[in-house]
Amino acid sequence: MTSRRRLAGELGVVAGFEEPRAPLEQYNTPPGLAAHIVHVADLNDDIEDSTVVDLGCGTGMLALGAALRGPNRVVGVEIDPAPLATAGENERRVAARADVDWVRGDATDLPLALDDATVLMNPPFGAQDGNEHADRAFLDTAAEIARVSYSVHNEGSRDFAESFAADAGGEVTHAFAAEFDLPRQFDHHDNEAQTVDVEVFRTVWDQR
């Protein structure tokens, strides 16, 4: 079994949102995609000995994926306390190699100082409620605190991500597409499950 598949298996025990809140776009990154993102970050030397920050960590999928590799420190930031409590329980379910600091706060106005971080994030897209590119404010935070970030966006975001990075003196160095099924949990989903097409970008930031 590859280490990516093993990581996906380990993340399979991560519990999701008990009462997902649609305005916050609360759904879990599937374990397979989270493992893929962490594996690519690890191959690029962006995890080991780094401070990894998961912005909008929910119940901890990306933070815990990183904590299963060899980071210095992991911080998960989430605005809603309910999933943060689940994240703490999930940390006990996986045999993480690093402790995670679960921080309640706004990822777009961080309550703690961080720099030179590796940011992993699957932020709200804002596509459903007409608030197109709600992920922009999360990228702003990444530009502030990260040396490198891995971010999940809705399909068709490449031009946006590249021009955002260029404006901040950064560069998108890798991109890949993924798709996954979301269970029906919000009113605007009219089918049993909805297939979501996403794009993942690795961006190297020029620390301001």
135-145 and 158-167 are packed helices; what angle lies between their axes, rounded to 10 degrees?
40
What does the alpha-carbon distance between residue 93 and residue 42 come to, in Å, rounded to a whole number?
A: 22
Q: To the nearest whole angstrom, how small is the minimum distance from the Cβ of residue 89 to ligand SAM?
A: 14
DSSP conformation letters of 54-122: EET-TTSHHHHHHHTS--SEEEEEES-HHHHHHHHHHHHHTT-SS-EEEEES-TTS-SS---SEEEEE-
Q: By CB under 6 A, which span of 122-130, 155-163, 174-182, 188-196 interacts with ligand SAM?
A: 122-130
Among 50, 51, 86, 122, indicate the residue that binds ligand SAM (CB under 6 A). Answer: 122
Q: State yes or no: residue 28 binds ligand SAM (CB under 6 A).
A: yes
- Note whether 83 binds ligand SAM by CB under 6 A: yes
In whole angstroms, how close is the CB of 4 to ligand SAM at the nearest point? 17
Q: Is 65 in the site for ligand SAM (CB under 6 A)?
A: no
What is the binding site for ligand SAM (CB under 6 A)?
Answer: 24-29, 54, 56-58, 61-62, 77-80, 83, 106-108, 122-124
